[in-house]
Each structure stands twice: as C-alpha cells, then as structure tokens.
C-alpha cells in the first residue's frame, strides 16, 4: 500500500503564514485619506481629496482554500502575485509546521511502518512554490524519500500514485475515487466534511494505518 501525506494544512501552516504576511504588508491601519492641493494662476489654493485607496482587509474567517474570498485583493492577478511571486518563499518556505511535533511524528510513523507501507509527500504547487516547499521539507528534517507536486492539469493523475491519502484539502476529501482511502486532518475549513477516518493530530495517524494494513 502507498500512503500520501499532503503538505498544506497537515504539515505546513500555510494559511497562518499567509495571514501574517497579509496583515503586515497590505493592511493599512491608519485609515488615512490622502489629500493634495492645486494652485491656480492667481496663486489661490484649493484642497483636492484624492480617491480613497483600496482597502485591504480580512473579509471573513478562513472557511475554504480560496483565500481571495476571505482576504480582499484588487484582482485575481494581485492575489496570485502576492502568493506566488512577491512572498512565495516566505509563504511556502518559511511557514511554521502545523504542530510543534509534526515532523517528529511523521518521521516516527515512517520509520515504524515503512517496511509495510510506501510513503510519499504530495502538494498542490505552482512555479516557485515548488522549490520553496522543498526547502520547507528539508528545513524541518522530513525523512520521506518521495515528493510529488501536482496542479489543476495533473490533478486527476495524482490519484494513481497512492492508495491512502491524509489531507486537509476539502476538494480532495469530497472528490476522490471510490477505491481510495482518504483520512481527514481536521481544520477550520473542513470540519463540516464527514469522513470515517479523521484525525486532529499527526500522532493519531499510526494506529489508523496499522488497522488499514491488517484489513
């Protein structure tokens, strides 16, 4: 059996880091409305109020992975630029782990069960987020040997790579082949999705996998 571990939401607190960077770099806390003055030929001045700048703000708590639905951006292009160009390494390379012991627990499961199960890492990545994610894994000492990145184009074929998937991604939880076993890592944005196998901490994974191997 092949077991895949998803990075986002399971190992990496990507959303938490995104929120931190958004608040630091985009939210304007002073509410200042810029003004300027025009001078006519007679030397008279007239105050001119410029258009109010775009307001960056948190629209709602994160209940999905469509972050531009929860954080205001002027366009989709600006949103993707923020994530995958301007702060790509910060978001995907320097995010904290979901738990303090995430990788200790993951490596423990790997060492304990690698003779009976094949383990791999998967992640939905674009462009420069791929090397940033590899840096993230190396930084935390991930011992798993195989990493596969996928995108919207390769989404369907990624299911051929494993039999069991641990993920927090709502789309993967809801839309998976019937012959695949999916384990939910519970988060705020997937708590309403019901799954037979569900964990809140990575150390809870080992007994589930041990039971599945015996089945």
Query: Is the predicted pLDDT of residue 47 greater than 60, yes or no?
Result: no
pTM over the 0.75 mark: yes
Domain count across the chain: 2
The residue among 60, 92, 124 that closes a domain is 92
Whether residue 139 sits in one domain with residue 125:
yes
Of the pLDDT bands very low, low, confident and very high (cuts 50, 70, 90), residue 29 is very low
> What pLDDT does 156 receive?
84
The 10s digit of each residue's pLDDT in 111-165 is 999 999 999 999 999 999 999 999 999 999 999 999 999 988 888 899 999 999 9
**Domain range for residue 88?**
18-92
What are the φ and ψ backbone dihedral angles of 38, each rounded to 5 degrees? -110, 145
Q: Give the integer Cα–Cα distance in Å for 54 and 73.
A: 9
Structure confidence by residue, pLDDT tens digits, 155-201? 889 999 999 999 999 999 999 999 999 999 999 999 889 988 999 99
HSE of 166, CA atoms in CB hemisphere, 13 A: 26
């Amino acid at each position: 059996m092949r077991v895949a571990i998803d990075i986002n939401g399971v190992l990496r607190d990507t959303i938490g880091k995104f929120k931190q960077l958004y608040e630091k770099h985009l939210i304007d806390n002073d509410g200042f409305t810029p003004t300027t003055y025009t001078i006519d030929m007679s030397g008279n001045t007239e105050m001119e109020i410029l258009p109010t700048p775009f307001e960056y703000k948190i629209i709602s708590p994160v209940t999905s992975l469509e972050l531009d639905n929860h954080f205001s951006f002027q366009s989709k292009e600006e949103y993707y630029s923020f994530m995958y160009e301007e702060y790509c390494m910060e978001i995907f390379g320097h995010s904290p782990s979901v738990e303090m012991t995430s990788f200790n627990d993951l490596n423990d499961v790997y060492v304990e069960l690698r003779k009976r199960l094949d383990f791999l890492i998967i992640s939905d990545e674009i462009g420069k987020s791929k090397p940033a994610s590899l840096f993230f894994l190396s930084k935390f000492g991930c011992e798993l040997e195989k990493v596969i990145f996928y995108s919207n184009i390769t989404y369907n074929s990624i299911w051929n790579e494993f039999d069991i998937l641990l993920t927090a991604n709502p789309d993967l939880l809801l839309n998976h082949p019937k012959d695949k076993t999916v384990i939910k890592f519970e988060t705020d944005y997937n708590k309403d999705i019901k799954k037979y196998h569900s964990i809140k901490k990575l150390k809870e994974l080992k007994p589930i996998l041990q039971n599945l191997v015996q089945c």
